[in-house]
Amino acid sequence: MSLTGLITELSKGMLTSVEIFTLTLVFSLPLGLFVAFGRMSKNLIIRNIFRIYISIMRGTPLILQLMVVYFGPFYIFKIPLSYAYRFQAVIIGFVLNYAAYFAEIYRGGIESISVGQYEAAKVLGYSKSQTFVRIVFPQVIKRILPSVTNEVITLIKDTSLAFVISVMEMFTMAKAFASAQTSMVPYIVAGIFYYVFNFIVASTMEWFEKKLSYFQ
């Protein structure tokens, strides 16, 4: 296969990687905030449930979680596996995993806000929800953005783990081409794709950091 043909084929796999990346962020960021609230709940039972969830997600490999999400329904409930479910399993696995990491980032950001700001907002007549949305959350976003950026960059590279359940993202395709051609070129091209993707995302996140610099 020519270099042009290889790039074209890997571009198709890259679209799948981008789709995994995008859907994971769209669902895991809000879910992570929900989990963070559960983790900070005053109810001991609720707090411990979310603590255990975070511990499991952070304490076991993502590749193992993907396998459990995909093969679990078959081994536990005898539900037949389908090709269409592979991609859905990848998204579910990634979202559950990254929500746990984002939850701890959110929690750290929220708990870093001084109590005095809550008290001042209360004096000014703000409700708890208004205080969080208008005063606390904008500051939290500014403070956690560097940590979120690190996780987002890690997510780009982690999309390659979809190969474990045979989802044809870019790394899976590069691996297949490299094996068929007994060549390192597919891996090199894939590496360039990943680097460019990372560079674009990192630059975008840096732009957001600068836009939020007025909270310093």
Q: What is the 3-state secondary structure (H, E, C) of the chain?
A: CCHHHHHHHHHHHHHHHHHHHHHHHHHHHHHHHHHHHHHCCCCHHHHHHHHHHHHHHHHCCHHHHHHHHHHHHHHHHCCCCCHHHHHHHHHHHHHHHHHHHHHHHHHHHHHCCCHHHHHHHHHCCCCHHHHHHHHHHHHHHHHHHHHHHHHHHHHHHHHHHHHHHCCCCHHHHHHHHHHHHCCCHHHHHHHHHHHHHHHHHHHHHHHHHHHCHHHC
Q: What is the pLDDT of residue 45?
A: 95
Asked if 212 and 189 touch (Cβ cutoff 8 Å), the reply is no
What's the mean per-residue pLDDT of the chain?
Answer: 88
Token code pair at residue 109: 């950001």
Banded model confidence at residue 1, pLDDT cuts 50, 70, 90: low
Q: What is the pLDDT of residue 128?
A: 79
Residue pLDDT, tens place only, 118-166: 888 888 888 878 888 888 888 888 888 889 999 999 999 999 999 888 8
Q: Does domain 3-215 have CATH number 3.10.180.10?
A: no
Kindly state the percentage of the chain with pLDDT values over 70: 98
Q: How far is Cα 155 from Cα 153, in angstroms, rounded to an integer?
A: 5
Q: At residue 215, does pLDDT exceed 80?
A: no
Residue pLDDT, tens place only, 174-213: 888 888 888 898 889 999 999 999 999 989 988 887 877 6
Q: At residue 167, does pLDDT exceed 90?
A: no
Residue pLDDT, tens place only, 33-81: 999 999 999 999 999 999 999 999 999 999 999 999 999 988 888 888 7
Token code pair at residue 88: 């859905």
| In the chain, where the domains are located | 3-215
Could you tell me the sign of the dihedral formed by the alpha carbons of 132, 134, 135, 141, in that order? Answer: positive
Q: What is the pLDDT of residue 121?
A: 81
